[in-house]
């Protein structure tokens, strides 16, 4: 699947330059819902605040700009596009729908231009 280049704009990158997913989110957030078989860590106040999706493979939907690098580079297809209408950063997100298939290669973490992804193979066992 090709990257939706129109989702990647300079003002967004500048605004997000100092932000990254909190790798310790499981200690500061609560699971508020389930989505496509994975946890969603709050707060969630649609459409502006969508939380962190996933546990082993976690994507901060409020940082994700939907450039698609993670979908292209993931060798086991952990991610799928999901619609997020009216979200200020992008109207689609890379959802870790198949996080249970992750092989911990960290390619998604390495290619994400805004550090919206964190992979921690031990995280799901610490909860």
Please state, in angstroms and rounded to a whole number, the distance separating the CA atoms of residues 127 and 115: 23
Please state, in angstroms and rounded to a whole number, the distance separating the CA atoms of residues 60 and 68: 14
Query: Domains of the chain (ranges plus CATH)?
Result: 5-126 (3.30.70.20)
Q: What is the pTM of this model?
A: 0.84
pLDDT in tens, 64-108: 999 999 999 999 999 999 999 999 999 999 999 999 999 999 999
Q: How confident is the model at residue 121 (pLDDT cuts 50, 70, 90)?
A: confident
């Amino acid at each position: 699947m090709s990257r939706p280049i129109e989702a990647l704009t300079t003002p967004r990158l500048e605004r997000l330059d100092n932000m990254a997913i909190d790798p310790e989110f499981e200690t500061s957030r609560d699971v508020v819902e389930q989505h496509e078989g994975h946890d969603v860590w709050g707060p969630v106040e649609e459409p502006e605040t969508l939380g962190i999706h996933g546990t082993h493979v976690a994507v901060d939907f409020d940082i994700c700009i939907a450039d698609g690098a993670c979908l292209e580079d993931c060798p086991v297809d952990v991610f799928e596009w999901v619609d997020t209408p009216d979200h200020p950063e992008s109207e689609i997100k890379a959802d870790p729908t198949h996080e249970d298939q992750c092989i911990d290669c960290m390619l998604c973490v390495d290619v994400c231009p805004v550090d919206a992804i964190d992979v921690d193979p031990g995280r799901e066992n610490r909860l």
